[in-house]
Amino acid sequence: MEVKVWNYLEEYKEEKDEIINAIERVFESGTLIFGDNLKNFEDEFAKYCNSQYGIGVGNCTDAIRIALEALGIGKGDEVITVSNTAIPTVSAIVQSGATPVFVDINEKDYLLDVNKIEDVITNKTKCILPVHLFGQCADMDVISQIAKIHDCFILEDCAQAHGSLYKGNKAGSFGNVSAFSFYPTKVLGTYGDGGMIVTNNETIYELSTSLRFYGIEGYGKPEVTRKYYSERHGYNSRLDELHASILLGKLGHIEEYISNRRKIAEIYNSELSNLGLVLPNENNYGRHVYYIYCVRHPDRDRILNELRNHDIYLNISYPYPIHLMNGYKQLGYKKGDLPITEKFGEELFSLPMYPSLNELEIEYIINTLKKILSNKS
């Protein structure tokens, strides 16, 4: 039996008719870009996130970059975030002209250590960018309090946290603005790429809507007379009608997706305890949606090699801390600056996690891990 860390084929089979209908609806509408499907999805997803505005863009990297620019953040400004994240978080900050400033993570949940934020705040700090990693929200009460004291913006990176809850409220509803990804593997993903900016601030909404399309204001509105006039330097970052239509349908299944992920996590939690693996910790303040079921073991590489011998193929999230990558050496960090991030980069790995993972596959994964961890493979 071959098991991958992620697989969409069974889910596609179950939803095929709905997906084909969503595609045909677009092709038969006569509008492929900036149509009703995008507007409806923007409205519905923003509502799902307990927010007022959604701005569909090409991907989450663009969402972060555009959101930063809409906040007025750029050259000379500092943005506090984590090194234990996907590269796009930091790439978007650098693209904006701002400087990423890293804070180490908590041992228990791998999220930004809120107790270390104020250690790195300077007069150049303009934004705190918490990453809701693996499907769980950072401690937003503390982050919000610090941001208020130091007059900083909050931009939530929600690429992995669709539907995650913090004290009953959805990820993406706490900061000035938030960024989401609809990459295929996500809790809510399409069959390609896509992203969204979510906010309750009308000014951020208007600026982001302009920036995603060359700096043009009010594109598509009948009252706008200067259709192809750029008010500011902008970009080409659009969520097209096809992906918006597919996502609009899949949004109706999101709570089912999350429920299935949580059920799989419960099985892993029950069956893999007391084997030497450090299992995910769900904070008591919220709902983990388990975009990634991330475990830890000091002998990770041996375990992964043996799992591959049994046709189980996993991922490491993330093996190389961003502050130590060549692409960001200009930031001046060195080995030892973020000890927890660096240590866990050598120990973390992800078990298969997706809603359609079936019982036989789960059983095979668990039994194989038990054999490997008891040295009986």
Tell me what percent of the residues of the chain surpass a pLDDT of 70: 98
For residues 262 and 221, give the distance between their C-alpha atoms in angstroms, rounded to a whole number: 43
CA distance 262 to 136: 12
> Tokens 């130091």 sit at which residue?
150
pLDDT in the model for residue 219: 78
pLDDT value of residue 377: 45
- Residues 177-195, mean pLDDT to the nearest whole number: 98
pLDDT digits (tens, 9 = 90+) for 236-276: 999 999 999 999 999 999 999 999 999 999 999 999 999 99
Q: Domains of the chain (ranges plus CATH)? A: 3-103+111-251 (3.40.640.10), 254-373 (3.90.1150.10)
> What does the alpha-carbon distance between residue 337 and residue 329 come to, in Å, rounded to a whole number?
13
Predicted confidence at residue 221, as pLDDT, reads 73
Q: Per residue in 321-331, pLDDT tens?
A: 999 999 999 99
Contact call for residues 212 and 194 (beta carbons, < 8 A)? no
pLDDT recorded at residue 220: 67
* Cα gap 236→245, rounded to integer Å: 20
Chain centroid to CA 239: how far? 17
β-strands 99-103, 78-82 pairing = parallel
Q: Is 267 in a helix, a strand, or coil?
A: helix
Q: DSSP assignment, residue 190? A: -
Residue 169, beta-bridge partner list: 166
pLDDT of residue 225: 66
Structure tokens at 57: 């863009």
Q: What is the mean pLDDT of residues 25-53?
A: 97
Digit-coded pLDDT (tens) for 69-127: 999 999 999 999 999 999 999 999 999 999 999 999 999 999 999 999 999 999 999 99
Which three-class secondary structure state does DSSP give residue 340? helix
Average pLDDT, the chain: 96
Backbone angles phi, psi at 272, to 5 degrees: -110, 5
In the prediction, which pLDDT does 205 show? Answer: 98
Q: Model confidence over 148-162: pLDDT tens digits?
A: 999 999 999 999 999
pLDDT at 224 over 90: no
